[in-house]
Amino acid sequence: MTATTLVKLTMAQALNQALRDAMKADETVLMFGEDVGALGGVFRITDGLTAEFGEDRCFDTPLAESGIVGMAVGLAMNGMRPVVEMQFDAFGYPAFEQVVSHVAKMRNRTRGRVTLPMVIRMPYAGGIGGVEHHCDSSESYYAHTPGLTVVAPATVADAYTLLRKAIEHPDPVIFMEPKKLYWAKEEVDLSVEQPGIGTAVVRREGRDATLIAYGPTVPIALEAAEVAAADGRQLQVVDLRSIVPFDDETVCAAVRSTGRAVVVAEASGFASVSSEIVARVTERCFHSLAAPIRRVTGFDIPYPPPKLERHQLPGVDRILDAVDDLQWEDS
């Protein structure tokens, strides 16, 4: 029998451990960004890394996101595996030109002769009482850009596994970290192999409808399923984990098994990852659907002030209202 080593960690601690283990395993792994050195980052994801590995491998940069990503491109072209932090989601926009024009295109531009094994860590989404520029859900911009892999963990175990996989990945990965889950705590065994990038998982089985979620909305979907169960309705919950590549096989099998689906995402709904999910699931599962797929998303507005964000974020009541609208025979 294999011995297990269970430890209770927050998502922030699991991310820190993933960086530490990756830097121990591979001396080409570097970590840099704004305040990630001695301070350990705004959310302490890099806490202690400078002390352990030195200022050559975990260091602060000027407040210049385009320069941070540009430097990572150069380092990756020369054999290093840089991991950079954007501090907050919307702080990544000044670096967007680097990401779209160079990070995403380098492999194709050089016909595979030059690859960029680099990770851009992106603390994202709301739920922490932050203001605009601190609570954006920017995954759609990156998911729409060919050449990028985009992942969003929702559990402590996945935060560790997916970041290790992202650092080992031969091409650039946008790593979306749900800020409000940084302090979520689980008992985990980090030695247990989790599914890799590109694989969705069913977090809860159910026969009546499927909730499709990723990142910060997975716990909300699970909470909604728990409430629905008390009323006799069994909701299945699928955690995408990876937005690009998208696991059509797992998602479509889940939707076909119930015939009804609701997509739950924090980002604004128009032209979004959620609308892409509805389109591709409808294309592949049309003859298995008992009702049109519904979405519960953020509204199509700039992110609201902290006191109003509860209205913007998908909640249990909005999810259950969407489930009620799925054309049930008894309604």
Burial 205-222 (b: 16+ CB within 10 A, else e): ebebbbbbbbbbbbbbbb
Q: What is the pTM of this model?
A: 0.96
CB 114 within 8 A of CB 102: no
What lies within 8 Å, CB to CB, of 45 at 6+ separation is 12, 15, 16, 19, 36, 85, 121, 123, 177, 182
What per-residue confidence (pLDDT) applies to 151? Answer: 98
pLDDT at site 168: 98
What's residue 285's pLDDT?
A: 97
Residue type, 95: A
* 3-class DSSP assignment, residue 84: strand
Q: What is the mean pLDDT of each run of 10 residues along the chain (331 residues)?
A: 80 98 98 96 96 97 96 97 94 95 97 97 92 89 98 97 98 97 95 93 98 98 98 97 98 98 97 98 97 97 92 96 89 57
Q: In what order do the strands lie in the sheet with 58-60?
A: 58-60, 29-33, 81-85, 119-124, 173-178, 149-151, 242-244
The pLDDT score that the predictor gives to residue 331 is: 57
Annotated catalytic residue, options 102, 134, 144, 169: 134
What pLDDT score was predicted for residue 234? 97
CB 63 within 8 A of CB 95: no
The pLDDT value recorded for residue 2 is: 57
Q: How many Å apart are CA 28 and CA 24, to the nearest integer?
A: 10
Q: Rounded to an integer, what distance in angstroms lies between the CA atom of residue 83 and that of residue 69?
A: 9
**pLDDT of res. 4:** 72
Query: Which pLDDT belongs to residue 330?
Result: 63
Backbone φ/ψ region at 228: left (φ over 0), alpha (ψ -120 to 50), beta: alpha
Instruction: Please confirm, yes or no, whether 134 is among the known catalytic residues.
Output: yes
